[in-house]
Structure 1
């Protein structure tokens, strides 16, 4: 069951439309967020909506009025019968029909309240496989809807969780998650500013440091994959998920390790304080 808010109404998604003239369709101009719902409550809603505002600004979308409306729209939607109690709230802001040389003054928006495809337990037990993607993510600080360059390397292979951006021998982030590599007792991850500052990423870094781990914010190198004891990704859907292979490189002993297991446990234990 899912709902969509559009043009002042909450409807089934199949009854919601935007015109083919919208810049989201014509030029891929749109930004969005995915906010996790746990038991009818939102995870880090303020951080997600703040990041949506920053993405809209970077994309040149004039979204101030929309951003003021969104908290109320989301609050009402959470209380409706069609909204899943464990799922995702996904607000989208499109470029609308007017392109003023990279400024989009008349945007559209809609909000989807959707079920979530949780990480399968089998994948949690064996660890995720990532496919190398040796390009740089375009405009990584803007959470846009354009995932084409992340999807292209997968070529429909169901065994691959997603692609991993690895430009010029550096590892930045995966298609929908932040990437962490564990080496010599340290947890290494690309710095915010080089990659999108994931909301789950920030929570996990905070929890790791409070638990005594050393977190080094720099881009891990592709050459360090063979030296890593383990690796993992973090994100809204996957939370904390071990990575056991990147392309042909097996990570550690090829099994999920104790650091990712510990951080996943800490993340779940500390969910309550980030829910609203």
Structure 2
């Protein structure tokens, strides 16, 4: 069963209610973070909470008290009798609350959802997926806000194999709707730098592992023009881990199949999970 923590109480998710006066509803003022568990083991909790704190500060939310409470709440929720069995995704939301003081939110609210993790299918991992390009800048890329409207609108009319949208700005690839993007080319792993993209937690862990294992990592925006000569591409995220990309728009990546580099990196990631539990 999916559960939610709100205002001091764990409850079935469908019973949770927040006020219609909350600025998350009225003006879309909200930030969140998604945290994966492997069974009851929480992946990179400290790193996710730090990023959530950064997002809240950028939005003008006075959320220090909430941030300090969240680790204990999340640990209790994961081990709650009514929590889902198996792997979970924990979504911690901080909303603007009901007071807007000229773009400053002195009384934010929060809730935490505990749901079954819907992991990638074996077919998606085996065959890879495509991304649909979106030629615009992501709003506030360094903040993990609840505003995913641009990505959702781009996916209208998407082809069956198009997994999510990929942001491309002036020929530079930044990130996809819910993931960090990596391009494998000429023996290098290329990914956009923080400042132009969200500080992906799985992205940071992958960069650490890649450098430890003598991969050459370039933190720059891959170019759209490089897609045609790339060997492989993949995206990363807390729930999806590593997912091979075989096509962007009409451009096939490599031979159109998941390659050995992304598969090796996925195995490397899985073999080091314990370091971030």
Structure 2-normalised TM-score? 0.97
| Equivalent residue, structure 2, for 1:31 | 31
CA distance in 2 between partners of 1:212 and 1:107 (Å): 44
Counterpart for residue 249 of structure 2: 247
SS state at 1:171 partner:
strand
Distance 2:252 2:162 in 1: 14
* 3-state SS, counterpart of residue 105 of structure 1: coil
Q: Please state how far the C-alpha of 1:159 moved relative to its aligned partner.
A: 2.4
Identify the residue that residue 114 of structure 1 maps to in structure 2: 115
Instruction: Specify the alignment match of 1:215 in structure 2.
Output: 217
Aligned counterpart for 1:267 among listed residues 266, 269, 272: 269
Please state if 1:155 is matched with 2:178: no
Aligned to 2:183: 181
Q: Distance in 2 between matches of 1:21 and 1:30?
A: 13
Matches within 5 A, 1:1-276: 1-84=1-84, 85-155=86-156, 157=158, 158-275=160-277
Q: Distance in 2 between matches of 1:106 and 1:159?
A: 43
Deviation, 1:156, is: 5.2
Once residues 70 and 195 of structure 1 are traced to their aligned partners in structure 2, the CA distance between those partners, rounded to angstroms, is 25
1:76-116: CA deviation from partner (whole Å, max 9, x where unpaired): 11221222331111110000111111101111100001111
Q: Does structure 1 retain, via aligned residues, the 8 Å contact 2:35–2:239?
A: no
Partners of 1:116 and 1:137 lie apart in 2 by 26
CA drift at 1:269: 0.5
Aligned equivalents of 1:69 and 1:156: distance in 2?
A: 42
149-158 or 61-70, larger mean C-alpha shift: 149-158
Q: CA RMSD in A?
A: 0.9
Q: Deviations over 1:38-59 (max 9, x none)?
A: 1201101000000000000001
Following TM superposition, where does structure 1 have runs of at least 4 consecutive aligned residues deviating by more than 2 angstroms? 156-159
Distance 1:185 1:70 in 2: 41
Unaligned runs of 5+ in 1: none
In 2, the alpha carbon distance for the partners of 1:262 and 1:119 equals 17
**Distance in structure 2 (CA, Å) of the matches to 1:136 and 1:21:** 30
3-state SS in 2 of match to 1:234: strand
Secondary structure of 1:72's counterpart equals helix
Shift of 1:173: 0.3
Instruction: Determine the C-alpha separation between the residues in 2 that align with 1:49 and 1:118.
Output: 22
User: With structure 1 as the length reference, what TM-score do the two structures score?
Assistant: 0.98
